[in-house]
A = this chain, B = another copy of it.
Amino acid sequence: MQGIGPPLATPFDASGAIDEAKLRELVDWVESRGVDFIVPCGSNSEAELMTTDERSSVIEIVADTAEVPVLAGTGHPGLQETLESVDNAADAGADGVLVVTPFYYHHEQSALEQYFTTVADESPLPVYLYSVPAFTGVRLLPETVGSLSTHPNIVGMKDSHADIGEFIRTQQAVDDPAFRMFIGSANVLSQALELGADGGILALANVVPEVCSKIYRRHEVHPERARRLNSEYVPLNTAITAQFGVPGLKYAMGARGAPAGHVRSPHLPPDAAAKTALDEILESLDVD
């Protein structure tokens, strides 16, 4: 894995079922716009709103359709379900698994460390850590990541702390140069790349994959331009994540012609005010 990967939105039909045809189309849609890998069953895929079987099915469809590598989200609050999802992902043809910090219950760093160690021991696929306090309420601390990075089957991390200082301290805590660091917030993609990030796993890559890709590809040759382009997309990224969540994300995708499909309950479509705000942001940008 390297470069840009979207935590791929999952298109549902009006009844709430997975829309396989649209999902395949969406894989093509993001691939043709330059993403380097695809992340089915991430947070922005509404993975937590699907059953374990549905998640496997989504991973299978994506792995079957995609020409780029597939990093499958397989994390749950508990070990059993996580291991089951990891195995399913391997069977479905994924190339790696992205495992979110267990949520709901409160765990110390020592418990998180033991949990990820067991997952990595058991997983047939390479494991990427995933820390996203906005959803889980927990942070994977730099020293915990440093310790876990020595496990041969833990090969990288998605850091969605949106905290550059902590990103740097995490990098410093990791000794292994092969350990992949992905940033999880498009707001700081170019900054993370300049600090040595290996890429980004970004909600925004569902809406404007070509822009994320351009930032990634240009940051070394034209850092100034990459940064400027990135800044232009901060309002859109904020709108489709912190402000309006997945409903905002899917609306923006739809506005761009991506086969995003419906949201799934308890998500509701964005209300009129949210739509207007998103329309205004999209119109202000140089996208078709």
- A interface residue numbers (CB < 8 A to B): 16, 43, 46, 48-52, 54, 77-81, 84, 102-108, 110-112, 114-115, 118, 135-137, 162-165, 168-169, 171-172, 185, 187-188, 191, 194-195, 223, 227, 231, 234-235, 237-238, 245-246, 264-268
Summarize A's interface: helix, strand, loop or mixed.
helix
**Bound: A105/B267 CA distance, A:** 9
B266 and A79 within 8 A (CB): yes
Among A77, A107, A169, A268, the one with the most B-chain Cβ atoms within 10 Å of its Cβ is A77
Nearest-neighbor residue (CB-CB) of A110 within chain B: B268
A261 to chain B, nearest CB (A): 15
Question: Contacts of A238 on B, CB cut-off 8 Å?
Answer: 165, 169
Among A52, A136, A231, the one with the most B-chain Cβ atoms within 10 Å of its Cβ is A231
Nearest-neighbor residue (CB-CB) of A173 within chain B: B235
Question: Contacts of A78 on B, CB cut-off 8 Å?
Answer: 46, 48-50, 264-266
A187 and B164 within 8 A (CB): yes
A48 and B264 within 8 A (CB): no
A234/B49 contact (C-beta < 8 A), A79-B264, A268-B111 known: no
A80/B191 contact (C-beta < 8 A), A102-B266, A115-B266 known: no
A164 to chain B, nearest CB (A): 5
- 9 A-B pairs with the lowest CB-CB distances in the bound complex, closest first: A49-B78, A165-B187, A115-B266, A79-B265, A48-B77, A48-B104, A168-B234, A102-B266, A111-B268
Question: Contacts of A237 on B, CB cut-off 8 Å?
Answer: 165
28 contacts between A and B (CB under 8 A): A16-B79, A48-B105, A49-B79, A49-B80, A50-B81, A51-B81, A51-B84, A52-B52, A78-B264, A78-B266, A104-B136, A105-B135, A105-B267, A107-B266, A108-B268, A111-B266, A111-B268, A118-B265, A162-B163, A164-B188, A165-B188, A169-B235, A172-B231, A172-B235, A188-B191, A191-B191, A194-B194, A195-B231
